[in-house]
Structure 1
Amino acid sequence: MQQILLGGVGVYPFASAGELISYVAEHPAILVAINAEKIIHATDELKAIYNRNLGYSDGSGAVFALKKKGYQHACKIAGCELWLKIIERYSGEKTFYLVGGKPEVIEATVQKLRQDFPTINIVGYRDGYLKSGDDEALIADIAEKKPSVIFVAMGSPKQELLMERMQRQHPEAIYQGLGGSFDVYTERVDRAPEWWIRHNLEFAYRLIKQPSRIKRQIHLVRFLFRVMTNQI
């Protein structure tokens, strides 16, 4: 699988979530969700973080750019769905560790996962509010328990930097950064209805629900212009 650069940000053109999951099972890595906003705002430091890990197209803008470069099979893989698909495939086979969210959110997430996936083996979890020394203790716990899959929901690039430190001690695991996915999973944050998602209009739904996002959405127009003019 070849890494494709979009504005200097590496993305792998997977044709499906299943293909990505099969690939990372054979090539353990840190999964990084890449969308138009990340590409347009990526500094050299952020590009370095994204590119040394496994970026996948989490937004329709990234998919559009990949197809413009000739990768017609590339598809959108929503990170807030991907982690659950990984659990669905491996819940009875692999072990899991979860980090992130408020204390009540991570507790609710673990409880719901155990209800939705009765065979899941969660060997550890904790909230994302790490105080001085907590990160070293967390990394040591992961190195000791050696979970197969680790989810970190703390937002970029904080979660990627933490996962890289974990990976140095436990390189055999699959890692995925989840941002606010625990809040979505426990229904503390609403996601767009299925119709909007299916028609690649999730960004429009969020804009309707939160008009203040218009300043962020303007960057999508910049991104599309740069793709159409072969600047990305």
Structure 2
Amino acid sequence: MRPRQSLFGVMLDPLTMDETVRRCLDAVRRGERIEIGMVNAAKLVNMRRDPRLARAVSGCDLVLADGQAVVWAGRVLGVRLPERVAGIDLFMRLLAAAEAEDISVYLLGARQQVLDTMLRRIAERFPKLRVAGSRNGYFDDSEQEPIADAIAASGAQLLFLGMTSPKKEIFTAGHGTRTGAHVVHGVGGSFDILAGITKRAPLVWQRMGLEWFYRTLQEPRRLGKRYLTTNAAFLVMTARELIRRTPSAGSANRSHC
């Protein structure tokens, strides 16, 4: 296994999608546990502002580059990340593998109506998938332990959290072990996409690193300011790190004296 890579002080696992899927399935077969953390440009910015979020993500067993901008920044800064491992793509790959290998899953997140619609669509796409249980993502902090206990009682081997940051990371850090799931994967807004509430960007937009912009076009009031602010901050972070890593002209000249 390739060693972890440090980007902006965050240790990332340089895995491909296929390697990640194999790691997750191996964990189920061996009875091990893996908590997965996903980072994109916005989350790396927010981790600098929110120590609790930073601790939760850094404490995961696998930390993966969910955003194309993270992969590009790594290339600029000499950090080798083989490819983007998008959370929704990993989600779909694991659902397909779970159906094929009779692995049970639990789905936690979204509004109840969205969750119900997604469950119907998943049943159509993966008719043999064993869904151990599900619950909407609207609950108070005081309910976290009982929810984790209910997941454990269901016997689910894979747990998918369709909740926003930092709620899903904090739930994973605080109660991931309690759920008893072998793999805990926070999939963010993937439930809304599978339910048809929001549309995912076309593949060409994804490859160009513009999936965030496509989402902004769908929800400009909610996401516009957020993405513009965090993307600008990410560019500044990358530029500052590049300057920090680049020897100054003066230092270069002195090295030849």
Q: Quick check: TM above 0.5? A: yes
Q: Distance in 2 between matches of 1:26 and 1:229?
A: 41
* 173-182 or 162-171: bigger deviation: 162-171
Residue 222 (1) aligns with residue 198 (2): no
* Equivalent in the alignment of 1:179: 188
* Equivalent in the alignment of 1:144: 153
Describe the superposition over 1:25-79 as per-residue Cα deviations: whole angstroms up to 9, x where unpaired. 3343111110122212313332221111021000122212333454545101111
| Structure 1 residues 219 and 117: alpha-carbon distance in aligned structure 2, compared to 1, 3 A threshold | same
Higher share of residues assigned helix: 2
User: For residues 35-184 of structure 1, what are the structure 2 equivalents within 5 Å?
Assistant: 35-42=40-47, 43-53=50-60, 54-68=62-76, 70-72=78-80, 74-93=82-101, 94-131=103-140, 133-184=142-193
Cα shift at 1:192: 1.5
Contact persistence 2:155–2:180 (CA under 8 A): no
Cα shift at 1:170: 4.1
Could you tell me which runs of 5 or more consecutive residues in structure 2 were left unpaired when the two chains were aligned.
28-32, 246-257
Residue 10 (1) aligns with residue 15 (2): no
Q: Percent identity?
A: 24
Residue 30 (1) aligns with residue 18 (2): no
Q: How many residues align?
A: 230
| Structure 1 residues 39 and 214: alpha-carbon distance in aligned structure 2, compared to 1, 3 A threshold | closer
Contact persistence 2:74–2:81 (CA under 8 A): no
The one-letter amino acid paired with 1:31 is I
Could you tell me which runs of 5 or more consecutive residues in structure 1 were left unpaired when the two chains were aligned.
none
Contact persistence 2:149–2:179 (CA under 8 A): no
Q: Distance in 1 between matches of 2:57 and 2:4?
A: 11
Partner SS state of residue 124, structure 1: strand
> TM-score when scaled to structure 2?
0.80
| Structure 1 residues 105 and 46: alpha-carbon distance in aligned structure 2, compared to 1, 3 A threshold | same
The one-letter amino acid paired with 1:134 is E
Look at both structures and tell me which one has the larger radius of gyration over its CA atoms. Answer: 2
Q: CA RMSD in A?
A: 2.3
